[in-house]
Structure 1
Amino acid sequence: MNRLTSFTLGFLTAIGGFLDIGDIVANSLVGARFGMSLAWVIPVGVIGVCLFSEMAGRVTAVSGRPVFDLVRERLGARAGLANLLASSAITLLVFAAEIGGVALALELASSVHYLLWVPVVGFLVWAVIWRLPFERMERTYGLLGLAMVVFAVALWRLGPDWGALWHDALSPAPPSGEDWPTWWYYAIAVFGAAMSPYAVVFFSSGGVEERWSARDLTLQRLNVFFGFPLGGLLALSLMAGAAVLLHPAGIQVDHLSQATLPVVVSLGKVGLVIAIVGFFACTFGAALEAGLATGYGVAQYFGWSWGKSVRPVQAARFHTLLLATVLAGTAIVLTTLDPVKVTEYAIVLSAAALPLTYLPIFIVANDRGYLGDRVNSRFTNIVATVYLFLVLLVAAATLPLMLWTKAGQ
Structure 2
Amino acid sequence: MKVVFNLALGVMTAIGGFVDIGNIVTSGITGARFGMTLAWAVLLGTVIMVLYGEMAGRVAAVGHRAVFDVVRERLGVRFALVNLLASTVLSLLTLAAEIGGVALVLQLFTGVNYVIWVPLAGAAVWLAIWRLPFPVLETVFGLLGLALLVFAAALVLLPTDWSLLWHEMTHPAVPSGEAWPTWLFYAISLLGACIVPYQVVFFSSGGREEGWSVADMRRARANTLIGFPLGGVLSLAIMAAMVPVLRPDSVDVKHLGQVALPVAQAFGVLGLILTFIGFAACTFAAGAESALSLGYSVSQYFGWSWGKWRRPADAPRFHLVCLAGTIAATAFMLTTIDPITVTIVSVVLGAAAIPLTYLPLLVVANDREYMGRYVNKRWQNGLAMLALLVMVVVSVVTLPLIFATKAGQ
1:354–1:395 CA contact under 8 A, matched in 2? yes
Aligned to 2:182: 182
Aligned to 1:117: 117
SS at match of 1:112: coil
Distance 1:74 1:175 in 2: 43
CA RMSD of aligned residues (A): 1.1
Aligned to 1:356: 356
Distance 2:308 2:250 in 1: 47
Residue identity in the other structure for 1:151:
F
1:118–1:334 CA contact under 8 A, matched in 2? yes
SS at match of 1:115: helix
Residue identity in the other structure for 2:115:
L
Distance 1:92 1:74 in 2: 24
Deviation readout 1:108-155 (Å, 9 max, x if unpaired):
001011000011111111111011111111111111110111111111
Matched, 1:194 2:184: no
Residue identity in the other structure for 1:171:
H
Residue identity in the other structure for 1:364:
V
Distance 1:3 1:148 in 2: 22
TM-superposed deviation, 1:20: 1.3
Deviation readout 1:304-328 (Å, 9 max, x if unpaired):
0011111210101111111101100
Aligned to 1:307: 307
Aligned to 1:405: 405
Residue identity in the other structure for 1:392:
V
Residue identity in the other structure for 2:75:
L
TM-superposed deviation, 1:204: 0.4
1:35–1:242 CA contact under 8 A, matched in 2? yes
TM-superposed deviation, 1:2: 6.1
TM-superposed deviation, 1:347: 0.3
Q: TM-score, normalised by structure 2?
A: 0.98
Aligned to 2:154: 154
Q: What's the % identity of the aligned pairs?
A: 54
Distance 1:363 1:201 in 2: 16
Aligned to 1:23: 23
Aligned to 1:128: 128
Q: What is the 5 A alignment of 1:94-109?
A: 94-109=94-109
Residue identity in the other structure for 1:15:
I
Matched, 1:232 2:232: yes
Deviation readout 1:173-218 (Å, 9 max, x if unpaired):
1111101010001000001111111111100000011110011111
2:209–2:309 CA contact under 8 A, matched in 1? yes
Aligned to 1:45: 45
Q: 1:296 and 1:342, CA in 2 relative to 1: closer, same or farther beyond 3 A?
A: same
1:6–1:210 CA contact under 8 A, matched in 2? no
Aligned to 1:367: 367
1:71–1:364 CA contact under 8 A, matched in 2? no
Distance 2:276 2:211 in 1: 34
Equivalent residues, number: 409
SS at match of 1:376: coil
TM-superposed deviation, 1:393: 0.5
TM-superposed deviation, 1:43: 0.7
Distance 2:3 2:153 in 1: 30
Matched, 1:337 2:345: no
Gaps of 5+ in 1: none
2:70–2:360 CA contact under 8 A, matched in 1? no
TM-superposed deviation, 1:292: 0.4
Distance 1:306 1:257 in 2: 38
Aligned to 1:241: 241
Distance 2:373 2:71 in 1: 19
TM-superposed deviation, 1:4: 4.2
Residue identity in the other structure for 1:58:
R
Distance 1:224 1:367 in 2: 21
Matched, 1:222 2:219: no
SS at match of 1:313: coil
Distance 1:280 1:5 in 2: 21
Matched, 1:293 2:293: yes
Aligned to 2:93: 93
TM-superposed deviation, 1:21: 1.4
Distance 1:311 1:252 in 2: 46
Deviation readout 1:350-395 (Å, 9 max, x if unpaired):
1111111111111111111211111110000000000111111111
SS at match of 1:254: coil
Residue identity in the other structure for 1:147:
A
Distance 2:161 2:46 in 1: 25
Gaps of 5+ in 2: none
Deviates more, 1:152-161 or 1:113-122: 152-161
Q: TM-score, normalised by structure 1?
A: 0.98
Distance 2:231 2:67 in 1: 23
Aligned to 1:328: 328
SS at match of 2:348: helix
Distance 1:2 1:188 in 2: 38
2:70–2:361 CA contact under 8 A, matched in 1? no
Deviation readout 1:43-72 (Å, 9 max, x if unpaired):
100000110010010000002221221221
Distance 1:390 1:64 in 2: 28
TM-superposed deviation, 1:245: 1.2
Distance 2:183 2:392 in 1: 19
Distance 1:337 1:71 in 2: 33
Residue identity in the other structure for 2:335:
T
